[in-house]
Each structure stands twice: as C-alpha cells, then as structure tokens.
C-alpha cells in the first residue's frame, strides 16, 4: 500500500512502478518481513526492489496503518481487504508479477443449512463470488468496521444493487 498522494505524484499503480523510487522509500511491515519470500525478500527477488530501509511494525495492523498515514513509511504491507485502504484513501498496488497468491474468499455456512440446501444456497453463493470485486469488498469492510454500519444492512444493500435479492 501507498498513499494516494504518493501514487498520484509518481504515477504508481503497480508494484513494479516502485522500481525507480524504492531506494528512497522505507518499507513497513511485520518484523519477519525481511526474511519472508512473500514480503521484502520476495519484493527483491521478484521485482528487484531494494528499499532504503525497513521499519518493523505489525502484520497489517494499526501500527502499519498509522506509520503509512503519518509518513514514517512510504510503502506498507496490509491485507488486501483491510478497511483502512478505503478509509484512509490508500492505494492497493497491482501485483503485476504475481508475487502473492490469489485471494480466495470462502463463505462460511452452518452445516445444518448445507444439509437442507437444495442447491439454491450454493447457486447464490457462487453468484455472489462471481460478482464481488476486491474494491467492493474493501468498501463493505470499511462500512462495517469504520462507519459502524450493520453488516446485514451493508450486505443486503450490495445484494440488491447486484440484483441478487429484492
């Protein structure tokens, strides 16, 4: 993640776009990041990024968010569905060389419901999965976590907008 101001000023949209700037940027993330193949080590191996410094913070939590917002770091590692991305207007960079594994959102359903399902629930969940984008998920997470809206109301509004319920 980077701030919108940084993204706009340097026209950064993808992780590879960081290449000319990484030597001047501080990366922030979990303390183990420098040794992890999907973190700083992977950014160096896959993208050739060598940052000016690394600041150990937390695993995509409030320390990383605060450090990015407060300009103590230039690039922060957050989870792609973190509501802070929308709330703080951060920019989720495209992993254009596919360092990270794909996100998979898995619905959790009580076994009792599955046992009663005639296929309707499965079709509904598949239709939701096919339409839900990362941006929409992030926006809904922000509405619930930051704006304190009821999760059922947020989900229902999205389902109605998609034409999945009336």
* Displacement of CA 111 from its chain's centroid (Å): 29
Mean pLDDT of the chain: 93
Query: What domains are there in the chain, each with its CATH number?
Result: 2-91 (3.40.190.120), 111-161 (no CATH)
Structure tokens at 109: 């359903």
Q: What is the mean pLDDT of residues 136-156?
A: 93
What letter does residue 90 receive in the DSSP assignment?
E
Q: Say whether pLDDT at 127 is over 90.
A: no
pTM, 2 dp: 0.78
Residue 134: its pLDDT value, please? 85
Cβ neighbours of residue 11 closer than 8 Å, sequence gap 6 or more? 17
Band of residue 81 on the pLDDT scale cut at 50, 70, 90: confident
Number of H helices, E strands in the chain: 8, 5
How far, in Å, CA of 71 to CA of 28, rounded?
A: 11
């Amino acid at each position: 993640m980077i701030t919108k101001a940084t993204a706009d000023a340097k026209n950064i949209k993808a992780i590879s776009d960081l290449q000319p700037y990484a030597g001047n940027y501080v990366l922030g993330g979990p303390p183990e990041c420098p040794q992890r193949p999907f973190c700083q080590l992977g950014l160096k191996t896959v993208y050739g990024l060598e940052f000016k410094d690394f600041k150990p913070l937390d695993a995509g939590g409030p320390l990383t968010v605060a450090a990015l917002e407060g300009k103590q770091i230039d690039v922060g590692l957050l989870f792609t569905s973190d509501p802070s991305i929308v709330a703080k207007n951060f920019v989720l960079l495209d992993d254009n060389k596919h360092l990270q594994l794909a996100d998979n959102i898995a619905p959790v359903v009580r076994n009792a419901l599955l046992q009663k399902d005639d296929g309707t629930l499965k079709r509904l969940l598949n239709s939701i999965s096919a339409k839900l984008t990362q941006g929409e998920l992030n926006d809904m997470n922000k509405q619930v976590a930051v704006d304190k809206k009821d999760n059922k109301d947020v989900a229902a509004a999205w389902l109605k907008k998609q034409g999945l319920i009336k």
